[in-house]
Amino acid sequence: MNMHERYELRRIVNAAGTMTYLGSSCVSPRVAEAMSSILPEFVDMRELQRAACGIIATATGSEAGCVTASAAAGISVAVAACMTGTDLCLIERLPDTSKDDMKNEVIVLKGHAVGFGASLSQMIRLTGAACIEIGTVTQAGGYQLRGAIGSRTAAVVYVVSHHTVQSGLIGLRDVCAIAAERGVPVIVDAASEYDLRGFLEAGAQLVVYSGHKFLGGPTSGIIAGDLRLVRACYMQERGIGRSMKVGKESIVGIMEALLQWQERDAGDVRLEEEARIDYALLHLGALRGVRVERVADPTGNPITRLQVWLDPMVCGLSAFELSNLLSAGELSVRVRAHEAELGFFQIDPCNLKAGEIELVCSRITELLANPSRPELPTRNATDFGYLSLLRWPD
């Protein structure tokens, strides 16, 4: 009996990508074996984090690194580190920032104040810091950043994500240059980004990655950057970071995942993913009322996805309705549907296994051949997700 049968879980075909709500990624046998090997053993956790520090530094070109419970935890920990440094009295005091001896403001471009299951602003406020948003959603310039930096500014948080506004905002290099004028560190939230070196090279002091998305490791986060600040990040386990601590198995798992990432043949991986998109382009493009096109990842990751547009008048289903029908089956097919109300969804090839792109296309063809409009309480994806939470655990 496999785990799906044992716990009565539906099988998921993941055409959505590295999504936390789907378990993020498929951990390789190599990573799983490393995690399994450490579980029965005792280790000095400080020594284990020191070993991880060396691997992270090599992979990212940073001075140091540490492992956290997740990328979201990494944001809170990195912000806290910029507020307290290595002063243990300040670390123990957080989230109380009422005294004047601690910087407690963090600047974020308004177009970067995104949600990823929770909100970036909340991850910052968990530390006791005030989140200072600058500019508008679609426009933010250097003069606004300069004007916002003051004596209480602890850090600037810059987000690289498909969720952010992709134009009209000051770029990372300029943000880092302006922040450096005032001695303010820049933290980059790069949870889902493949580039392990470019953000530090652009001038950021700390970069936060997810360990369980593109790297294919266990649930974890990685902080890389300036040695002094990374040490302060590690020390947050004596404060608010204690509730975000990471286990020995996750640290070993992400170490192995980083080594595996550096040894992979990126060209072969890309060819396999492109072949899946080619198959879907050919099969779905032949359906009436369906238009398909290849789209590049908006932040520059080497990923091509297939965007699938539906004409509801011809297909009998909207993109939002079809994505929900795909999800609802006993064999649950998940597509990238966060923009489905705009008339399309995407197929992401990264986490599809052998034979699964055929299942995705077959299921879409089947549902469009016999359209049955689902009874949905709302056509808004955010409200739909909220209503489903209210029914949990049903």
Per-residue pLDDT of 331-371, as tens digits, reads 999 999 989 999 999 999 999 999 999 999 999 999 999 88
Closest by Cα among 39, 35, 65, 71 to 52: 65
Closest CA to 312 of 284, 291, 338: 291
Taking only the tens of pLDDT, the chain with its 394 residues reads 688 889 999 999 999 999 988 988 889 999 999 999 999 999 999 999 999 999 999 999 999 999 999 999 999 999 999 999 999 999 999 999 999 889 999 999 999 999 888 999 999 999 999 999 999 999 999 999 999 999 999 999 999 998 888 889 999 999 999 999 999 999 999 999 999 999 999 999 999 999 999 999 999 999 999 999 999 999 999 999 999 999 999 999 999 999 999 999 999 999 999 999 999 999 999 999 999 999 999 999 999 999 999 999 999 999 999 999 999 988 999 999 989 999 999 999 999 999 999 999 999 999 999 888 787 777 777 777 788 888 888 7
- Report the C-alpha gap between 263 and 216 in whole angstroms: 13
- Nearest CA to 205 out of 174, 234, 229 is that of 229
* Residues, the chain: 394
Residue range 190-232, pLDDT digits in tens: 999 999 999 999 999 999 999 999 999 999 999 999 999 999 9
- Alpha-carbon span 216 to 316, nearest angstrom: 38
Place of tokens 């993941």: 14
State the number of CA atoms in the 13 A half-sphere of 262 facing the CB.
14
Give me the domains of the chain, ranges plus CATH numbers.
3-20+266-390 (3.90.1150.180), 43-263 (3.40.640.10)
User: Of 165, 112, 150, 155, which is closest to residue 134 (Cα–Cα)?
Assistant: 112
What's the start-to-end Cα distance of the chain, in Å? 24
Instruction: Write the DSSP assignment of 191-206 as a string of letters.
Output: TT-S-SSHHHHTT-SE
Which two structure tokens, joined as six digits, stand for 333? 């097919």
